Amino acid sequence: MAKIIVIEIGKSIVGAVIKHLGRPYAVVSYPREVHISEFKKIVKEAYQKINDALSSDESDSEEVWLILSGPLALIFQLGQIIGSDMGNVKVLQYYNGEYHIVPSISRDELK
């Protein structure tokens, strides 16, 4: 089973994640409006939790699933930091009553 990391900013979504996917490995939770000056701290916290999940002993073949809810600019910054070279990380999207893995895309596919 994948390690689930929930990043929830603005509103809590962890209850829905538990209901649909099970208990998360880690949660970054700011269930309120955050100020832009907090983005760096939040991205750092999320990055550390993702990195921890990827570097733990049993994670060699295990995926890390990210469930994201928050300001688009902050989520974009997190994506820039994680990049496409950070191991086995998948992003999930809630759609039509279920969570789905978002297909990966490479720069080469955009040419």
| Cut 0.85: pTM above it | yes
Residue 71 belongs to domain with CATH number: 3.40.1360
Residues 6+ away with beta carbon under 8 Å from 91: 65, 66, 68, 101, 102
Quote the number of domains for the chain.
Answer: 1
Write out the chain's pLDDT in tens, 111 residues.
Answer: 899 999 999 999 999 999 999 999 999 999 999 999 999 999 999 999 999 998 876 655 689 999 999 999 999 999 998 886 677 899 999 999 999 999 988 888 999
Domain region containing 89: 3-110
Q: What is the rounded distance in angstroms from the CA atom of residue 100 to the CA atom of residue 21?
A: 11
Q: What is the rounded distance in angstroms from the CA atom of residue 88 to the CA atom of residue 95?
A: 22
